[in-house]
Structure 1
Amino acid sequence: MFNRLTPFESSLFDEFKRLEQEIDDLFARWPWPIGIRSAARGAFPPVNIGATSDEVDAYLFVPGIDPKTLDISLQQNVLSVSGERKLPRDEKANYYRQERFSGTFRRAVTLPEDVDPDRVEARCENGILHIKVKRREATKPRQIEVK
């Protein structure tokens, strides 16, 4: 079927390829996420959040950042992490593309209403910041035994 393309068919496919490239370029400049697993451009650090009936776990990927310089707070169920990422830069070099984020950052994530702000733990290991927030005991379902 495609073994012998006429010049018209060949130019038609070239036009589709050009159109596809233009659409890709358009979405590359799009400031908002375009997929369920996407983050907005400049969203740093990337975050994964999971929950169980006992706690909420937040994982932030912060390679190259000194954990002692991070500011972590939990206020009204909003977990906030801020800091600064400094990358070495050669002033003599001409950079054609820089995709690693450099500068100050702040990520804020709303957590479920039953988290306990007094029971928060944070650990950083191998560039992964793990914040564990326990849930309030009063909001956990109680198993009632029938006698």
Structure 2
Amino acid sequence: MATYDPFRDIDRFASTLFDPRRGPRRMPMDLYRDGDHYVLTADLPGIDPGSVDIDVDGQLLTIRAERTLSSGDGVKWITREREAASFLRQLNLGQGIDTEAIAASYSNGVLSVTIPVSEKAKPRKIEVVADGSPSTITASESDQPQPIDQ
């Protein structure tokens, strides 16, 4: 009679998630709106900034990064917990984003990506004329585009 061991399944799942040979890892990130642009910050400690690759294909923003570890000749490791790894994150930007003006910087292990809202998507005042006296209506915040994390 076979017995079910839930810890075996948890261990197999954890080793799949954390094994660097099994493909890219997700990078922890924050995303917030600050005025007329979004700011994405992602933790990428130990990454060479030259290995960071950011692409925009249509409305899909893709961030890739590689962490490589050097091992000099004659080195005898006592412990080695940091491993080489690939990182990947993709976001669907939706409509209303100025993809031509996206900018990125890397400092102290944190990647910052600034994603501006396009001029067409910004709130604007619309003048309403009723019986010869103008009044204004402002587009609501809920009409604004929102990046979607995938």
TM-score, normalization by structure 1: 0.61
Q: Which residue of 2 aligns with 1:30?
A: 13
- Say whether the 8 Å CA contact 2:48–2:66 is kept in structure 1: no
What is the CA-CA distance between 1:53 and the residue it aligns to? Answer: 5.5
Q: Structure 1: which 5+ residue stretches go unaligned?
A: 1-21, 32-39
Q: Secondary structure at the match of 2:103?
A: strand
Q: Secondary structure at the match of 1:144?
A: strand
Q: Give a deviation string over 1:3-50, Cα, whole Å, max 9, x none.
A: xxxxxxxxxxxxxxxxxxx6566435436xxxxxxxx65623222222
What is the CA-CA distance between 1:78 and the residue it aligns to? Answer: 1.4
Amino acid at match of 1:132: T
Is residue 66 of structure 2 the alignment partner of residue 103 of structure 1? Answer: no
- Say whether the 8 Å CA contact 1:75–1:117 is kept in structure 2: no
- Say whether the 8 Å CA contact 1:53–1:140 is kept in structure 2: no
Q: Which residue of 2 aligns with 1:78?
A: 60
Residue 28 and residue 69 in structure 1: after superposition, are their counterparts in 2 closer, same or farther (change >3 A)? Answer: same
Q: Give a deviation string over 1:117-136, Cα, whole Å, max 9, x none.
A: 11111111111000001011
Identical aligned pairs, as a percentage? Answer: 27
Q: Which residue of 2 aligns with 1:17?
A: none
2-side partners of 1:144 and 1:24: how far apart?
A: 61
Q: Which residue of 1 aligns with 2:113?
A: 131
- Say whether the 8 Å CA contact 1:120–1:133 is kept in structure 2: yes
- Say whether the 8 Å CA contact 1:122–1:132 is kept in structure 2: yes
Would you say how many aligned residue pairs link Structure 1 and Structure 2? 117
2-side partners of 1:94 and 1:29: how far apart?
A: 27
2-side partners of 1:51 and 1:27: how far apart?
A: 37
Residue in structure 2 matching 1:144, options 126, 133, 138: 126
Amino acid at match of 1:58: L
TM-score, normalization by structure 2: 0.60
Q: Secondary structure at the match of 1:118?
A: helix
Alignment of 1:113-124 (within 5 A): 113-124=95-106
Is residue 45 of structure 2 the alignment partner of residue 63 of structure 1? Answer: yes
1-side partners of 2:124 and 2:7: how far apart?
A: 52
Q: Secondary structure at the match of 2:101?
A: strand
Amino acid at match of 1:68: G
Q: Secondary structure at the match of 2:100?
A: strand
- Say whether the 8 Å CA contact 2:25–2:85 is kept in structure 1: no
What is the CA-CA distance between 1:73 and the residue it aligns to? Answer: 1.3
Q: Structure 2: which 5+ residue stretches go unaligned?
A: 19-23, 128-134, 137-150
